[in-house]
Amino acid sequence: MGKRTDIDRRLRTLKDISAILRVMRTLAIMETGKLSRFLAAQRRVVTSIEAAAADFLHFYPVVAPSEEHVLAVRLMIGSERGFCGDFNETVLQTQAQLPPEPVLVAVGSRLCGKIPADVLDIALSGAGMVEEVQSVISRVIEELNTLAAKGNRGALRLTVLCHGQEQGEVITRTLQPFPPELTPASCHSHPPILNIPPRAFYSELAGHYLFATLHELFYQSLMAENLQRQRHIDNAARRMEQKIADLNLKRNVVRQEEIIEEIEMLTLSAETEFKYETPLPMRTGNIMFRNASHGGAPSTKTHFTDSGRDLSLKTADCQKRS
């Protein structure tokens, strides 16, 4: 009985965990649906800014800051929540293959916990859902502005390391200054008409591009995290169902053994009672009768009485028959 009780307790625990996994998978699916809409809109915004920047830099290439006057910063985007497989480990593996940067910034509690404190310069909490991305980006930009002010440099060379669109792929993307591979979609004969100086326009455009691209990359990373969480939960749910099925089978076997033991105990109990049952008391008595065929010679008849039933046995004549 105790063994079956332990199995029942384990079954209840596994069923509770399975229900929690189903809820987590549902939340991940809902988050993926929201992120797909946000990500599509944000990519259109980034594409339009890149087209404007490519057209502008085609006519004003000298406004871009030189490499000697920029501060190199690498931003790694990880996960705030767990249960997403090797999501953070793949980011760290890619980071180990790249040359070191002067400043290393990590976003996501799970990722920051895997990096030594003497290596990491800035650790920030990440976004667990799409509604938290805005506040996380605001903190990231504040830290970047603080770094630029401390370094007495007006520009940053920001490189972002995060998960891309493909499954398990980690990409590296430069946000500031503008990527050198930007090329205008169409070559115009005249430069764009500006209402402010080109350097001021470049600074404003770079700020808008940084803000929009960070949104795109954070949405993209959060999308990859939720997709990986779904796959991880599906694998865990399959293993959980297999364990539940095995425990149910084991429980049935234990229950059958208990039933057989109960039957054996009942059988042994019945046999014991039958073997040691006390017989009923017997009463005996002698009666005399005459045998007509031998001339009325007296004979002896032993009479047994058992609970009102007469069991008679005839014995030999007390005298020798003629």
**Burial track 87-107 (b if 16+ CB lie within 10 A, e otherwise):** bbebbbebbeeeeebebbbbb
pTM above 0.85, yes or no: no
Task: Count CB atoms within 10 A of the CB of residue 161.
Answer: 23
**pLDDT tens, per residue, the chain with 322 residues:** 568 888 889 999 999 998 998 998 898 899 989 999 999 999 999 999 988 888 888 888 777 776 666 788 999 999 998 888 889 999 999 999 988 888 999 999 999 999 998 889 999 999 989 999 999 999 999 998 888 887 666 678 889 999 986 566 899 988 877 776 676 766 777 788 888 998 889 888 988 999 999 999 999 999 999 998 998 899 988 999 999 999 999 989 888 888 888 888 888 877 676 665 555 555 555 444 444 444 455 544 444 444 444 444 444 444 444 4
User: Which domains, and CATH codes, for the chain?
Assistant: 2-242 (3.40.1380.10), 283-314 (no CATH)
pLDDT at position 179 is: 72
d(CA 30, CA 246): 32
